[in-house]
Chains A and B, each alone.
Chain A
Amino acid sequence: EAGVTQFPSHSVIEKGQTVTLRCDPISGHDNLYWYRRVMGKEIKFLLHFVKESKQDESGMPNNRFLAERTGGTYSTLKVQPAELEDSGVYFCASSQEGGLAGGPTDTQYFGPGTRLTVL
């Protein structure tokens, strides 16, 4: 069974440009999450989809970030326009169980991340 995949693995862009990150969750997983790790800091939650709906987007830093999950399969995270402080590693994760309070077996499986560098 394929794991969570993310594309691209690395992206280097200039300040002001637009970048779109893609995440393909494990097949059949309704829950999809985005997290980010800025250099030297902890991994932080960005948002959570249940199928195509945004369940929790409390971690999105500002309106330059737009996440979508059309059809409830893969997800994209667009940063427009990118700023220097957006540099970091963006992780995607997926899990099987859904609902507002996931059960104790709701393990989140992570992708390898996309390393974004904004110059």
Chain B
Amino acid sequence: AQSVTQLGSHVSVSEGALVLLRCNYSSSVPPYLFWYVQYPNQGLQLLLKYTSAATLVKGINGFEAEFKKSETSFHLTKPSAHMSDAAEYFCAVRRRDAGNMLTFGGGTRLMVKP
């Protein structure tokens, strides 16, 4: 069975500071990996995904994530936080071998201080 762990349900950074949101997965076979963001009163929006090409994946709004097989991690980073980045972020995985179901982590709420 797959599982996803997001360390820290709440993360607070200052505007302009580095954003680092952690995601670790548990899967017998490296899965497809996704980061979604949910802004207030909106649906989940795909930030980026890893499907087996380059291990460093660039997404929208300046975010990127690096797939590290040895660490079973897919942490999300952004060099400089902006106030508009305040939202809830979800890491998700999907099996390569069967099914379309996404398995989500618990979510991390990012707060950006001025």
Given contacts A110-B43, A110-B45, contact A33 B100 (CB under 8 A): yes
Convert B32-53 into 0s and 1s, putting 1 for each residue whose CB lies closer than 8 angstroms to a CB of A: 1000100001111110010110
Given contacts A104-B32, A104-B52, contact A109 B102 (CB under 8 A): no
In angstroms, Cα B36 to Cα A4, docked, is 15
For window 78-105 of chain A, which residues contact chain B by CB distance below 8 Å? 91, 93, 95, 100-102, 104-105
In angstroms, Cα B36 to Cα A107, docked, is 11
* Chain B residues closer than 8 Å to A41, beta-carbon distance: 106
> Which B residues lie at the A interface, using CB under 8 A?
4, 32, 36, 41-46, 49, 51-52, 90, 92, 94-107
Q: Which DSSP category, helix, strand, loop or mixed, fits chain A's interface?
A: loop
Whether A25 sits at the interface, judged by CB under 8 Å, is: no
- 8 more contacts with CB within 8 A, not counting A48-B100, A56-B99, are A42-B104, A43-B102, A58-B101, A100-B98, A105-B51, A110-B45, A112-B42, A112-B43
**Distance to closest chain B CB from A28 (angstroms):** 17
A111 in contact with B99 (CB, 8 Å)? no
**Distance to closest chain A CB from B56 (angstroms):** 16
Q: Specify which of A3, A31, A109, A113 is in contact with B100 (CB 8 Å cutoff).
A: A31
Whether A44 sits at the interface, judged by CB under 8 Å, is: yes
Q: Specify which of B42, B46, B95, B104 is in contact with A107 (CB 8 Å cutoff).
A: B46
